[in-house]
Structure 1
Amino acid sequence: MQFSEHWLRTFTNPLLDSAALGHLMTMAGLEVEEAEPVAPAFTGIVVAQIVEAEKHPNADKLKLCKVDAGTGELLQIVCGAPNAAVGMKVPCAKVGAMLPGDFAIKAAKLRGVESFGMLCSERELGLSDEHGGLYALPDDAPVGVDIREYLALDDTLFTIKLTPNRSDCLSLTGVAREVAALTGVALVRPEFAAVVPTIDDRRAIVLDAPQACPRYCGRVLKGVDAKAPTPDWMKQRLQRSGIRSISALVDITNYVMLELGQPLHAFDNTRLKGAIHVRLPVEGEQVLLLNEQTVTPVADTLLIADEHCALALAGIMGGEESGITLETSEVFLESAFFAPEAIAGRARAYGFSSDASHRFERGVDFALARPALERATGLILEICGGAAGPVEEALAADALPARPPVRLRPARARRVLGIDMADDAMQALLERVHLEVSRDGDALLVSPPSFRFDIEIEEDLIEELARLHGYDNIPAVAPLGRLVMLDRSESDRSEWDVRHLLAARGFQEVVNFAFVEEAWERDFCSNDDPIRLANPIASQMSVMRSSLIPGLAANLVTNRKRQQNRVRVFELGRCFERKADGQPVAGFHQPRRIAALAAGPVVPEQWGERSRTTDFYDLKGDLEALFAPRELSFECLADPALHPGRAAVVMLDGRRIGVIGELHPIWVQRYDLGPAPVVFEVELDAALEAILPASGSVSRMPAVARDLALVVNQELSATRVLAVLREAAPSLVREISLFDVYHGKGIDPDKKSLAFSVLMQDTQRTLEDAEVEAAMSALLRHAELTLGARLRGSGE
């Protein structure tokens, strides 16, 4: 919110300079984001009047002007502005003046004619970029007065960044109320009286949705001159608040909104039919808004309508068909309270925002509707003339926000704040911000006013005490506490442990958005019914991800566009799936997963190792290292996102925990991924579980190694064969590992040869040949009976 310091000081004027005032507001929670002067520094510029304006004798585009600058004699000034005319009052920089940018004004000759000064445009004063002509001042501007004084240019524009809970400060009255409370200076509120109706015209109001709009006030004004000029003082205050002057009626509603915090809206009364209804939309209903956007309101959007059609989106924006114009002579002026939950998010859902919705969705004083209506009525009658009818008010008192008292325990407040503040001092501070305080034994009962939506619990009051006492005045005491080492099982990993393990293997962590493009879900996850966002931040981020892999693929695309061909990235995050018994949100499951992608060369280009593209087994090794010493198993997988025959299910203790594989050639080509990347995605909880390595004595006895080559059916996996061999292995067998797979000459086409290395050892003695042969025979026999395997080279 932006406002003028001069305007603020008409409400309360503490003995603080601009910098101190800005610091005070910031430390009170009204963060001053920017404080800049209205105009740059300049001197020696006064209000002047052009008395004569003749053509320059030696130049077609220059004029020779005689100017009254209040010095007692006319100044001769050569001017090139096309709008320079006799009688016009303009800023005049006299000889010796200093313009912005340290530009000094001196007496000079222009085309042979002496010039003693300079007539200025708005750009030359640093007020705007307008430089098409001289800055025309009002006819009543006093000649000779310093222009900084006349235009109040020694002013500061404050821009404050409010947190959503402080909607009460979205007005000059609200900010001034805070400054007055913090400094103890009196608060001067705008004085206005209720307008006495002089006509009996009125329009009925019906609250069809009282929970969303419990209070609605309106009145009819006739004989209004919509073409009346907006007063300069009002234009200046609006401009310095970042609002463009449009017309007197619109400017007045904007002015009251800035002054009091109550958004208003003016309808052309002649375009209305029958009573005003505050209701929800009917199916298919459309509204043409003032921004020329036609919207179809959804079922929970509140509307302002008459007996014929919808007129406006309540609390958001008015409609074009009922809007006022310069020809408007009858006005229906609206002032209402809309429940924050009825307005919140609605404007953004239609792709825009407004000053009114910004205030209503945060909470507007529900007692302010009628006073703001009276204030706006008085200004309209003063500026535009006309006559006002009686105020019509529809009220559902039981639907207005409840303001129950909040119990504050002073002892707890002292303990939380760390300062010794008396109960009476607490009460005095809270009453300074217009909170009603009463005693209830050792506690204080604090009743928040209608404009404070942020006072609901005891902690809110403790925060108020801290603000009002001053954060700078609270001593910084080092906290004291007893540190206790918490128990932690060595079998539990932290997420940071997992991150470090992958980083140690050359991966870099990425953090992607959880909402992704719908095409990604369809292509990479075969998900035709993703969880869609009601209000996406961008069209390409419209659904929630059910896998981390599409985001990693997008990271690869980005890196390839920047000529980074070797990419190794991983991500820890949540995915989102539909599930009836999902937690914590029913109907949705939110598993945590970890995924990684590797693409390009295995190692960066170098002289010591031949370049080779990363393949399935490289990433499989990284995955196994992540889970070590636990052993993973892998089974063939058919997945539309992964390459057929180069993808597998990841199993841990007989349970599926994820997938690994090379991305499908279709998606590699469609998304321009280069050499096919390899990915894995597994449950994060499984990766966080660890087991401690078991230690054993190192045998001094020699080990015996034997090879066992088995011929098995082509579709039988090596994992299955290995598991069967380990089931039958005697105690002296220490390790069985696969070292060769063979297809070809000497093997039936529907068969394959798997060669295993069997390591045998005893810790106490040297093994005898008979024991070794018995062990190998037991392994072979079990494989024959269980899998139908045969020893390679043994014939049928």
Structure 2
Amino acid sequence: MKISENWLRAWVNPAIDSGTLSDQLTMLGLEVDEMAPAAKPFSGVVVGEVLTVEQHPDADRLRVTTVNIGSGEPLQIVCGAPNVRAGMKAPVATIGAVLPGDFKIKKGKLRGVESQGMLCGASEIDLEDKIDGLLELPADAPVGADIREYLELDDHVIDISITPNRGDCFSIRGVAREIGVINQLPVTAPEIKEVAAVIADQKNVIVDSGGCPRYLGRVIKNVNTKAPTPAWMERALARSGIRQHSILVDITNYVLIELGQPLHAFDGGKVEGAVHVRQAAAGEKLVLLNEQEVELQEDVMVIADDAKALAIAGIMGGLSSSVTDETAEIFLESAFFAPLHIAGRARRFGLHTDASQRYERGVDFELPMAAMHRASQLIAELAGGEFGPITAVEQAALLPKREAIALNQAQVDQLLGYAVEPAFISDALSRLGCAVTVQAEGEWTVVPPSHRYDMAIYQDLIEEVARIHGYDNIQISLPVMDVKLAKYADQFELAQLRQTAVTLGYQEAISFSFADAKLEKQLNPQVQPLALANPISSDLAVMRSTLLSSLIPCVQYNLNRQQSRVRFFELGLRFDYQDASSIHDLKQVPAFALIAAGPRTAESWHGKPAEMDFFDFKGDVEEILAAARLKAEYVRSERAWLHPGQSAEILLNGQSIGYLGRLHPSLEAELDLSATWVAELDQQAILQTYVSNFTELSRFPSVRRDIALLISDKINVSEIQQLIEKTGGELLDSAWLFDVYTGQGVEEGKRSLAFALLWQHPSRTLEDAEIKSGMDNILQVLENTYQATLRAS
């Protein structure tokens, strides 16, 4: 928004220079993008009166004039402007004057005739040329006055970037209020005099839209629409970036910039019957003032008469009801339109008007009456007319409510981090227009003003206090932190679980809890999934009993799009139907699932990619369990949808917490999948709390002994290893399987299992006898329990 500094200072004039004023506005949150002079520097130009005009003796296009500049003898000036004439007043650059661009005026001769200066057009003094020729000044311009002072060219144009929450600052009134607050000065608004009604004419106003809580209208007859716009108004508008139009348009624009209230004048003679504020009919068309025809929708609010739409409310008027030089009667509108009924509509039609810009952000709902009186006052003074009574229609229940906000000193100090005097808090909020009531020492009840839509909670008020107190005055200090350390609990977190899976090369999938009923049956024929009453689609029609119902379609989707290696994991809920006789018995079980398809590693120069096998996938699961500090056991799984020889139940303390393995080949064929590996575990079991125990590392050497056992191939290796660890006693540090052999030399039904046993004492060196005793004990127990024997070398 652009405004004139002189216009602003007419409202509030702090004893500071333009640069400081600009800084103040920026620090108030009204960032000044530019403060440009109204005209470039020049000197020596005064108001002159042309006394005589004669033809140049040697040039058809030149005139020889005598010009009175209010001092000394009249100057003889040769001029070529087509509009020069006796009696006119125009700027005169005297001898020694310096015009913009460092152009110096000297005494000289033009075609043999002496010229003692220069009569100036607008462009010579850095103003916009509106006519070809001299800048004609009003007849009452004082001869000899410095033109910079007379035309207020020492003014500055302030270009302010207004944030969306500060629609109240889209006016001289709003910006002046801010400057007055920061400088603790009163704001002197122009005196607004009510124009009494002298005729009884008025339009019936019917409001049928919830988007217009307040609407004012006034009939004015016999207005002189051809009256000239006074120079002071034209100048103020020009420096606000608004071109001159006609007296009525200029007055409404002037009030818009001055007070922030959009107004609109309709040609009263073209309004048929009553004035309606209503929603548009679908497909209704309107030709706007810019001659653009728009097709309206039902969510667009319009001003209409009994026959047609006249304007898009709060955005732009229609061409058919626009004021022209022939207009004898106008209907002046001043209204409050709710922001949500205006927002986005102008953009839809490719429009961006001063009115929509303000209504979208929120106009002061108490302002329409004051703006109506101000506009009526200016029309009466500048264009005359006979005024009818003001018609006012209100929907009080729809007007914005200004709710009281409780504020106390402790809240201010805590949020700002430093103390602000209670008197300053009360004064600053009062100057901003708030109704401040002191409840007790350091406690207030604050009712925001009607123009501040952004004040709703106590933090908003504290933000205002900090803004007015000055961001530069915020003290630099370290915050006081009362830190109480919570009791530490070792627990594997969801974030760690995710990170571990990602590190292993899996990507997280997030899917619906719904699944395809057919896939649910394929995975578990015994399940009777709960069907949705209103499913999103046929393939999302039941509640899933396993996360695989969601992950398998993800794998299929990726494989069908040439992704040969797919790895997914998901954290989510599955629904346990076991023992559920009704929906109320249905259990939601947090689960963690993995699925993998494709080669073990991505293709590279290092070697050909090998297919993933059971132990590759089991290694991934074990990595996750190891990160959670869980040591699980594995036994053959009997689940029907898993490969009978390449799957396992995962046991923790003898209880199953899930499974892993390859999908059954027949199921893979049905689903058109290659080898696909899956695992699903109880999420709560993985995330259980654990206790960290540290055992000091032994400084004494360890001793390794290997044994190769011939044992039945029906016995699980995990059972054998558990027995070894249990029998070995405290001297056995660890044991692991390092070789499995079947074939020549091993009878059918048996296999050779080679275990490494590591022995170590925490505080001394072991003796051979101790190790031999432990080994003998292990072999004896294995022989008695599983009929295991040592394999001959």
TM-score tier after normalising by the smaller chain length:
0.5 to 0.7
Aligned pair in 2 of structure 1 residues 42, 763: CA closer, same or farther (>3 Å)?
same
Aligned pair in 2 of structure 1 residues 163, 722: CA closer, same or farther (>3 Å)?
closer
Which residue of structure 2 aligns with residue 650 of structure 1?
Answer: 566
Query: Which deviates more, 455-464 or 84-93?
Result: 84-93
Contact 2:336 2:363 in 1 (8 A): yes
> Does 1:262 find its partner at 2:261?
yes
Query: Which deviates more, 164-173 or 249-258?
Result: 164-173
Contact 1:651 1:657 in 2 (8 A): yes
The structural deviation recorded for 1:121 is 1.9
Which residue of structure 2 aligns with residue 436 of structure 1?
Answer: 435
Contact 1:491 1:690 in 2 (8 A): no
Deviations 1:64-97 (A, max 9, x none): 3322222321222233333333322221111111
Which residue of structure 1 aligns with residue 242 of structure 2?
Answer: 243
Aligned pair in 2 of structure 1 residues 650, 369: CA closer, same or farther (>3 Å)?
same
Which residue of structure 2 aligns with residue 46 of structure 1?
Answer: 46
Which residue of structure 2 aligns with residue 108 of structure 1?
Answer: 108
Query: Which deviates more, 330-339 or 651-660?
Result: 651-660
Contact 2:597 2:675 in 1 (8 A): no
Deviations 1:554-574 (A, max 9, x none): xxxxxxxxxxxxxxxxxxxxx
Which residue of structure 2 aligns with residue 189 of structure 1?
Answer: 189
Contact 1:64 1:78 in 2 (8 A): yes
SS at match of 2:428: helix
Find the aligned partners of 1:24 and 1:225 in 2 and give their Cα distance: 42
Q: CA RMSD in A?
A: 4.2
Aligned pair in 2 of structure 1 residues 723, 247: CA closer, same or farther (>3 Å)?
closer
Aligned pair in 2 of structure 1 residues 637, 266: CA closer, same or farther (>3 Å)?
same
Aligned pair in 2 of structure 1 residues 168, 75: CA closer, same or farther (>3 Å)?
same
Contact 2:596 2:677 in 1 (8 A): no
Find the aligned partners of 1:267 and 1:82 in 2 and give their Cα distance: 38
Which residue of structure 2 aligns with residue 204 of structure 1?
Answer: 204
Find the aligned partners of 1:160 and 1:109 in 2 and give their Cα distance: 47
Which residue of structure 1 aligns with residue 357 of structure 2?
Answer: 358
Which residue of structure 2 aligns with residue 427 of structure 1?
Answer: 426
The structural deviation recorded for 1:440 is 3.0
Find the aligned partners of 1:286 and 1:180 in 2 and give their Cα distance: 46
The structural deviation recorded for 1:192 is 1.8
Aligned pair in 2 of structure 1 residues 254, 498: CA closer, same or farther (>3 Å)?
farther
Deviations 1:756-783 (A, max 9, x none): xxxxxx98679898599999xxxxxxxx
Find the aligned partners of 1:768 and 1:203 in 2 and give their Cα distance: 106
The structural deviation recorded for 1:297 is 1.8
Find the aligned partners of 1:168 and 1:690 in 2 and give their Cα distance: 64
Find the aligned partners of 1:495 and 1:766 in 2 and give their Cα distance: 34
Aligned pair in 2 of structure 1 residues 59, 408: CA closer, same or farther (>3 Å)?
same
Q: Which amino acid aligns with 1:398?
A: A
The structural deviation recorded for 1:635 is 6.5
Contact 1:635 1:650 in 2 (8 A): no
Contiguous gaps of at least 5 residues in structure 2: 506-533, 538-553, 570-592, 600-620, 628-664, 679-712, 718-735, 750-793
Which residue of structure 2 aligns with residue 311 of structure 1?
Answer: 310
Contact 2:497 2:624 in 1 (8 A): no
Which residue of structure 2 aligns with residue 301 of structure 1?
Answer: 300
> Does 1:383 find its partner at 2:337?
no
Aligned residue runs from structure 1 range 469-484, under 5 A: 469-479=469-479
> Does 1:339 find its partner at 2:293?
no
Which residue of structure 1 aligns with residue 76 of structure 2?
Answer: 76
The structural deviation recorded for 1:251 is 0.6
Which residue of structure 2 aligns with residue 165 of structure 1?
Answer: 165
Deviations 1:119-168 (A, max 9, x none): 22222212236683222222222221111011011111111111112111
Which residue of structure 2 aligns with residue 215 of structure 1?
Answer: 214
Aligned pair in 2 of structure 1 residues 764, 128: CA closer, same or farther (>3 Å)?
same
Find the aligned partners of 1:636 and 1:147 in 2 and give their Cα distance: 79
Aligned residue runs from structure 1 range 644-723, under 5 A: 648=564, 650-652=566-568, 720=674
| Percent of residue pairs bearing the same amino acid type | 46
Find the aligned partners of 1:389 and 1:445 in 2 and give their Cα distance: 42
SS at match of 1:391: strand
SS at match of 1:228: coil
Aligned residue runs from structure 1 range 193-592, under 5 A: 193-209=193-209, 211-441=210-440, 443-479=443-479, 492=495
Contact 1:266 1:332 in 2 (8 A): yes
Q: Which amino acid aligns with 2:180?
A: A
Deviations 1:542-588 (A, max 9, x none): xxxxxxxxxxxxxxxxxxxxxxxxxxxxxxxxxxxxx9889xxxxxx
Find the aligned partners of 1:500 and 1:118 in 2 and give their Cα distance: 83
Contact 2:279 2:300 in 1 (8 A): yes
Deviations 1:603-661 (A, max 9, x none): xxxxxxxxxxxxxxxxxxxxxxxxxxxxxx9769786xx6xxx565835369789999x
Q: Which amino acid aligns with 1:320?
A: L
The structural deviation recorded for 1:115 is 2.2
SS at match of 1:403: coil
Query: Which deviates more, 390-399 or 415-424?
Result: 415-424
Contact 1:493 1:690 in 2 (8 A): no
Q: Which amino acid aligns with 2:33?
A: E
The structural deviation recorded for 1:2 is 0.8
Find the aligned partners of 1:659 and 1:387 in 2 and give their Cα distance: 88
Find the aligned partners of 1:419 and 1:488 in 2 and give their Cα distance: 39
Find the aligned partners of 2:414 and 2:495 in 1 and give their Cα distance: 37
Aligned pair in 2 of structure 1 residues 438, 492: CA closer, same or farther (>3 Å)?
closer
Query: Which deviates more, 112-121 or 279-288?
Result: 112-121
Contact 1:94 1:116 in 2 (8 A): yes
Contiguous gaps of at least 5 residues in structure 1: 503-578, 583-632, 661-688, 696-711, 733-761, 776-796
Find the aligned partners of 1:691 and 1:242 in 2 and give their Cα distance: 69
Find the aligned partners of 2:73 and 2:745 in 1 and give their Cα distance: 128
Deviations 1:99-135 (A, max 9, x none): 1122221222333333222222222212236683222
Aligned pair in 2 of structure 1 residues 723, 190: CA closer, same or farther (>3 Å)?
closer
Find the aligned partners of 1:189 and 1:455 in 2 and give their Cα distance: 24
